[in-house]
Amino acid sequence: MTSDTINNKHRPAQVLLVEDNYGDILLTRRAFADAKISNDLHVAASGEEAVEMLYKKGAWENSPTPDLILLDLNLPGMSGQDVLKLIKQDDLLKKIPVVILSSSKADQDVVKSYNLHANGYVVKPVSLENFSEVVQKLEQFWFSLVVLPCPSADESDM
pLDDT digits (tens, 9 = 90+) for 3-54: 344 454 556 789 999 999 998 899 888 888 877 777 889 999 999 999 999 9
Neighbours of 106 (CB within 10 A): 11
CATH 3.40.50.300 fits 11-151, yes or no: no
Mean pLDDT of 84-91: 97
Alpha-carbon span 65 to 32, nearest angstrom: 19
Give me the half-sphere count of Cα atoms (radius 13 Å) on the Cβ side of residue 65: 15
For residue 158, pLDDT beyond 50: no
Residues 6 or more apart in contact with residue 98 via CB below 8 angstroms = 68, 69, 71, 84, 87, 88, 117, 118, 119
Q: Are 6 and 103 in contact (CB under 8 A)?
A: no
For residue 82, pLDDT beyond 50: yes
| pLDDT tens digits for range 114-134 | 999 999 999 998 887 888 888
Domain ranges of the chain: 11-151
Q: Are 75 and 47 in contact (CB under 8 A)?
A: yes
SS3 of 5, please? strand
